[in-house]
Amino acid sequence: MKAAIIGGGVIGGGWAARFLLNGWDVRIFDPDPQAQRKIGEVLDNARRSLPGLSDVPLPEEGRLSYHDTIKEAVQGADWIQESVPERLDVKHKVFAALQAACDPRAVIGSSTSGFKPSELQQGAVRPEQILVTHPFNPVYLLPLVELVGSAATSLDVIARACQILRELGMFPLHVKREIEAHIADRLLEVVWREALWLVKDGIATTEEIDNAIRYGFGIRWAQMGLFETYRIAGGEAGMKHFMAQFGPTLQLPWCKLTDVPEFTEDLVDLIAGQSDAQSGAHSIRELERIRDANLVGMMRALKQQNWGAGALLHAHDAQLRAGTVLEKRVADLPDPGQPILTLSRAVPLDWTDYNGHMTESRYLDAFTSATDRFMELLGCDADYIAAGGSYFTVETHICHLDEAKAGAHITVRTQLLLGEGKKLHLFHSMYEGDRLLATGEHFLLHVDLETRRPSAPGLQVAMALDRIARAQAALPRPKGAGRAIGDPR
């Protein structure tokens, strides 16, 4: 699949990263002589953060190319994303050039934050091909895309656009009726207007306003939105009680609403100065990295609860996993006589510590996942465990040999040292490419979950263990196996 990105600013670069890291070939047109440098920096940040949202590997990165003309850029493109400045005349010229050169079946999406699709389609030779696909920065992390069509937009284009966005791990919010600024920006505009008045009237500084959001309702909104948050505020009586209790306050003059202060030089200087004092110690790229790390941490925390954006990440992982060939049983392994691939994933940002590399506990986390995968291959899966059998870890020894940093793609290969009776002795080796990062030696006992005592495994598990044990019998004992702490062997 190919995507053409027209305009490589902050939003265009984010779109490029989202497509590229999900396996699409990306073709970029931007006349800015600094475009490659700017987009390259955005891609560096995306490569560091986006893979960490998934617990399965992303597809192989697509091919990136830059082109001197729109005509070259859109050749063979299945999706074309316009992210040029918010001037309707400029956008009309771009759409005319796009439609003169692109496949009539391609989706043409606009990143516009304010224009209606009917305004974008004016004068277009194929208006049904054009729709609004308004993302949020950073596009490579935040999943929301406001997808807006007009009466002229093809339903087939809308359906294909929704499908593609979901395949990219995004959430297409189909806005059924077109309106200026769509949904999200209209809500943001109300908060923005009131914030301007709070600063102008000397009630709060820019930092105090940001603190009110980041430490309060912003976190609630991140996982439940507005109405669901208010529903809970109503207690057991629910939304009706909330509205009865707080509805009358809407008649009170608590805020300025759409009464906007004049953008005088004094107001602009006041806000810019306060913002510099608040955030000027960090470069934009540093702020982006701080933002990305926070977003990944929050979204992965939501993933643990399978809630909000975290539920979407689970669905995307399931989609990625479905496209990956994973052997279900030992009999399906291509070569059980070699150490078995039991883990393949990226190191997420929240797995790193103050030294900038993977923290000690996460090595165990990774090796635990590898053990779980090995158990699954044996037939000790969810159904087997539900029936009353499992393996408990008795002893673990990890050797930390090299660093793994955020974004690194790590793999674990597992060798069976002993698999007979109740005993299971595994040796995991973790790599980044060919570089050995760590080893984990684990001794487990099969347990009857009803008695919580060691027991013999079921016949199918025992047979699978025997097959691997015989296949790997000729393998040399791995270096470090049986090593005690401080032992230089």
485 among annotated binding-site residues = no
* Residue 330 buriedness (CB in 10 A; 0-12 / 13-18 / 19+): buried
How many CA atoms does the CB half-sphere of 51 hold within 13 Å? 25
Q: Please report, for residues 20, 26, 123, 153, 407, the alpha-carbon distance to residue 40 in angstroms, rounded to integers and kept in the order given.
A: 12, 13, 35, 34, 16
Tokens, residue 429: 């080796």
The reply to whether 52 sits in an annotated binding site is no
**For residues 404 and 358, is the Cβ–Cβ distance under 8 A?**
yes
Q: Helix crossing, 35-49 with 10-20: angle to 10°?
A: 50
Strands 25-29 and 2-6: parallel
What lies within 8 Å, CB to CB, of 347 at 6+ separation is 52, 358, 362, 404, 405, 406, 407, 408, 409, 410
Token pair of 384 as six digits: 């087997």
Cis peptide bond upstream of 138, omega within 30 = yes
8 annotated to bind ligand:
yes
Kindly report the number of other CB atoms within 10 A of residue 265's CB atom: 7
Non-local CB neighbours of 45 within 8 Å, separated by 6+ positions: 17, 138, 140, 285, 288, 289, 292
Is 337 part of any known ligand binding site?
Answer: no
The answer to the question of whether 10 is labelled as a binding residue is yes
Answer for the pair 50, 58: CB distance below 8 angstroms, yes or no.
yes
Secondary structure element (H or E) that encloses residue 461, with its range:
helix 459-471
For 185, the token pair is 């920006």
Q: Choose among 440, 430, 330: nearest CA to 375.
A: 330
308 labelled as ligand-binding?
Answer: no
CA angle 371, 475, 330 (to 5 degrees): 45
- Annotation: binding site for NAD(+): 7-12
Q: What residue numbers does the annotated binding site cover?
A: 7-12
